[in-house]
């Protein structure tokens, strides 16, 4: 039985995945079938986290349907399990529209779990363990995870307390994080983006988001009931925004520290995706379109 086809566009933050996804979808729409995008980003699933996450705008979508953007309250945790269920539901909707799904995102765990490269660890929450781990600092938690599961520690955000606790919870229950699975649910064309000027892209993109009002956005979120603690748990931009709004750091420190944190995050994303030997690292849009057309036509 033939597996359903999916195109996945992956890579580190600020590499141009969203714009390539839309561009590719527009070209595919001109052929025999349509295309819709399933976002695989662990922060863009939250409502209101728009400028801070660099979420694609309505204008940038250019009429291409997007799934799993702004689907969850930022006050509640959205898990990998939530994502996989949501992505499967979105994929069923794409098929109903006789369209091709293009999965776009930099959250490697989300992409790999949905597309079947990794088996989802069915580990229930351990309240006793979580209570004990909550008392520890992120530095202590990261050190513990490195001992329990060095493979997961190499790709996790080391300051994200919620994810560290969950990773330790899984590691204690089943050992190391799941290895890639030899059998996948889909036939996937893996396209990767990793431009040489990535660090400069990160700097420019961060400046644009600050200019666009990401600090004001964080103020609005807090005023609407998003606690500073929860903002910090959301990681990266929002951790630093939480510190800035509480006057724990200056504006200059905010910009410098956040740029450094995003660059470190991009390097972890690289490490994650480099493990997938099926990814074709494309140099531009023309190459991506050629590969996509060949893939969809069965060549």
What is the arithmetic mean of pLDDT over 168-194? 80
Q: Identify the weakest region by mean pLDDT among 37-46, 176-185, 252-261, 272-281.
A: 176-185
pLDDT at 264 (0 to 100): 96
Q: For the segment 30-63, what is each residue's pLDDT rounded down to a tens digit?
A: 555 689 999 999 999 999 999 999 999 999 999 9
Q: Identify the weakest region by mean pLDDT among 10-14, 146-150, 151-155.
A: 151-155
pLDDT at 159 (0 to 100): 82
Q: Identify the weakest region by mean pLDDT among 35-49, 57-71, 153-167, 171-185.
A: 171-185
Q: What pTM, to 2 d.p., does this model score?
A: 0.86
pLDDT at 33 (0 to 100): 65
Q: Is the pLDDT of residue 171 over 70?
A: yes
Q: Identify the weakest region by mean pLDDT among 140-144, 153-157, 257-261.
A: 153-157
Q: Is residue 58 part of a domain?
A: no
CB atoms within 10 A of CB 196: 8
My answer on whether 167 and 136 are in the same domain is yes
Q: Is residue 111 part of a domain?
A: no
My answer on whether 216 and 248 are in the same domain is yes
157, 233 in Cβ contact below 8 A?
no
Q: For the segment 267-294, what is each residue's pLDDT rounded down to a tens digit?
A: 999 999 999 999 999 999 999 999 999 9
pLDDT at 129 (0 to 100): 92
If one counts the domains in the chain, the total is: 2
Q: Is the pLDDT of residue 152 over 90?
A: no
pLDDT band of residue 138 (cuts 50, 70, 90) is: confident
Residue 59 phi, psi dihedral angles, 5° rounding: -65, -45
How big is the chain, counted in residues? 299
Q: Is residue 299 part of a domain?
A: no
pLDDT band of residue 180 (cuts 50, 70, 90) is: low
pLDDT band of residue 246 (cuts 50, 70, 90) is: very high
Instruction: Give the residue among 276, 283, 291 at the shortest CA–CA distance from 117.
Output: 276
Q: Is residue 164 part of a domain?
A: yes
β-pairing, 66-67 vs 99-104, is: unpaired
pLDDT band of residue 183 (cuts 50, 70, 90) is: low
67, 56 in Cβ contact below 8 A?
no
My answer on whether 215 and 257 are in the same domain is yes
My answer on whether 257 and 218 are in the same domain is yes
What's the rounded Cα separation, in Å, for the pair 66 and 234? 22
Q: Is residue 248 part of a domain?
A: yes
| Residue range of the domain that includes 146 | 122-177
Q: Is the pLDDT of residue 22 over 80?
A: yes
Percent of all residues in the chain with a pLDDT value above 70, rounded to a whole number: 94
Q: Is residue 184 part of a domain?
A: no
My answer on whether 153 and 206 are in the same domain is no
Q: Is residue 291 part of a domain?
A: no
pLDDT at 29 (0 to 100): 62
What's the rounded Cα separation, in Å, for the pair 209 and 256? 14
My answer on whether 203 and 173 are in the same domain is no
pLDDT at 3 (0 to 100): 87
Instruction: Give the residue among 207, 234, 236 at the shortest CA–CA distance from 222.
Output: 234
My answer on whether 219 and 171 are in the same domain is no
Q: Is residue 183 part of a domain?
A: no
10, 279 in Cβ contact below 8 A?
yes
Q: What is the CATH number of the domain that holds 212?
A: 1.10.287
**Of 296 and 181, the one with more pLDDT:** 296
My answer on whether 254 and 214 are in the same domain is yes
């Amino acid at each position: 039985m033939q597996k359903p086809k999916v195109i996945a566009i992956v890579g580190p933050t600020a590499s141009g995945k969203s714009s390539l996804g839309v561009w590719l979808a527009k070209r595919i729409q001109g052929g025999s079938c349509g295309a819709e995008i399933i976002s695989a980003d662990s922060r863009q699933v939250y409502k209101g986290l728009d400028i801070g996450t660099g979420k694609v705008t309505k204008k940038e979508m250019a009429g291409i349907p997007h799934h799993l953007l702004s689907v969850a309250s930022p006050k509640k945790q959205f898990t990998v399990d939530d994502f996989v269920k949501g992505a499967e539901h979105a994929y069923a909707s794409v098929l109903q529209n006789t369209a091709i799904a293009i999965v776009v995102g930099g959250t490697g765990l989300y992409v790999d779990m949905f597309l079947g490269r990794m088996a989802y660890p069915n580990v229930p929450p351990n309240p006793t363990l979580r209570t004990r781990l909550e008392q520890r600092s992120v530095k202590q938690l990261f050190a513990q995870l490195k001992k329990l599961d060095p493979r997961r520690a190499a790709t996790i955000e080391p300051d994200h307390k919620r994810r560290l606790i969950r990773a330790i919870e899984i590691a204690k229950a089943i050992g190391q994080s799941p290895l890639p699975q030899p059998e996948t649910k889909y036939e996937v064309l893996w396209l990767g983006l990793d431009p040489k000027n990535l660090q400069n892209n990160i700097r420019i993109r961060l400046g644009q988001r600050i200019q666009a009002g990401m600090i004001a956005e964080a103020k609005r979120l807090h005023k609407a009931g998003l606690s500073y603690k929860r903002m910090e748990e959301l990681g990266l931009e929002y951790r630093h925004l939480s510190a800035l709004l509480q006057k724990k750091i200056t504006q200059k420190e905010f910009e410098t520290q956040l740029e450094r944190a995003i660059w470190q995050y991009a390097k972890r994303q690289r490490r994650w995706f480099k493990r997938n030997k099926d990814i074709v690292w494309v140099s531009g849009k023309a190459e991506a379109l050629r590969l996509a057309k060949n893939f969809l036509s069965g060549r």
